[in-house]
Amino acid sequence: NIYADSEEASKAVAREIANLIRQKAKDGKQAILGLATGSSPKKVYAELIRMHREEGLSFKNVVSFNLDEYYPMEADAVQSYIRFMREQLFDHVDIPAGNFHLPDGTVPIEKLAEFCRDYEQRIENYGGLDFQLLGIGRNGHIGFNEPGSLVNSRTRLMTLDLTTRIDATGDFGGLSKVPKKAVTLGIGKIMEAKRIVLLAWGEHKAENVARAVEGSVTSDVPASYLQLHPNASFIIDVAAAAQL
């Protein structure tokens, strides 16, 4: 779906999420959302906050699981994804404390494999993700599933690509300060979501959007796996559609 700009597109995505939350509430159920960080979803979260304030959209029945977190990472660090999510969404809506989940960047390395298995199990216990929001990295990654990730990969510790670390340099004030690893939801789990929406804005995303949508399905471009999903959409602006 190609929109004139990221504002219009983000509003459409926020509307879809809000409709899901409201429908689930009507049915007396929880909406299980897979959420993403990065600059791409910021306007979606801003619109959801607006809907909460102005239209009474409640997040009381929302349970969320974030895609990823740097490792190691303290929760209160400026760059932590839990802090990002609090600032961009959770602190501004009525989602109950305890209803949002993120990979924990402080788990000791020897307990990490168990943490990852448990994270997937927690999602399962809620009946799986109703909706997964994604961005796309400059190398075609989704979450922190770097090129080479398999379609059935599980939640795990990933070594970050140099391009990914270079893109995060600004946030950390120097390449040497960017963590070398991250915990990410695996492609296998992402693909189990009932609905997937990937956001991409700007010309710098155009090449990878084209490779992901029109190229062959390959581990070289993890976002290309979404071609195999029955209900996945790329919601992009005109600039990101430049090479389609």
Contact between 222 and ligand GLP by CB under 6 A: the answer reads: no
Nearest to 20 by CA among 195, 190, 191: 195
Specify whether the CB–CB gap between 90 and 100 falls below 8 A: yes
Contact 49, 62 (CB under 8 A): no
Question: Please, which residue, 143 or 186, has the CB nearer to ligand GLP?
Answer: 143
Tell me which of 54, 114, 120, 146 is the catalytic residue.
Answer: 146
**Helix, strand, or coil (residue 138):** coil
How far is Cα 206 from Cα 98, in angstroms, rounded to an integer? 37
Nearest partner of 91 among 53, 134, 126, judged by Cα: 53
Which is nearer to ligand GLP, 11 or 42 (by Cβ)? 42
**Does the footprint of ligand GLP cover residue 36 (CB under 6 A)?**
yes
Is 20 or 223 the residue whose CB approaches ligand GLP more closely? 223
Q: What x/- string results for residues 54 through 93 when contact with ligand GLP is judged by CB under 6 A?
A: -------------xx-------------------------
Closest contact distance (angstroms) between CB of 184 and ligand GLP is 7
List of residues 6+ apart from 50 with CB closer than 8 A:
none
40 scored as a contact of ligand GLP (CB under 6 A) = yes
Q: Does 144 bind ligand GLP (CB under 6 A)?
A: yes
Angle at which helix 42-55 crosses helix 81-88, to 10 degrees, equals 40
Q: Does 164 bind ligand GLP (CB under 6 A)?
A: yes
Should residue 227 be labelled a site residue for ligand GLP when binding is judged by CB under 6 A?
no
Query: Which of 140-152 are b and which e, b meaning 16 or more Cβ less than 10 Å from the residue's Cβ?
Result: bbbbbbbbebebe
Q: Which of 103, 135, 186, 222 binds ligand GLP (CB under 6 A)?
A: 135
Evaluate whether 203 touches 139 at the Cβ level (below 8 Å). no
- Distance between CA 60 and CA 126 in Å, rounded? 15
Name the one range near ligand GLP by CB under 6 A: 9-17, 38-46, 119-127, 215-223: 38-46
**Interface with ligand GLP: number of residues (CB under 6 A):** 13
- The DSSP string of 163-220 is HHHHHTHHHHTSGGGS-SEEEE--HHHHHTSS-EEEEE-SGGGHHHHHHHHHS---TT
Let me know if 192 is a catalytic residue. no
Residue number with the shortest CB distance to ligand GLP?
A: 135
Closer CB to ligand GLP, 61 or 81, in the complex: 81
Least distance in angstroms from the C-beta of 29 to ligand GLP: 27
Nearest residue (CB) to ligand GLP, 32 versus 198: 198
Catalytic residues: 146
Binding site for ligand GLP (CB under 6 A): 36-40, 67-68, 135-137, 143-144, 164
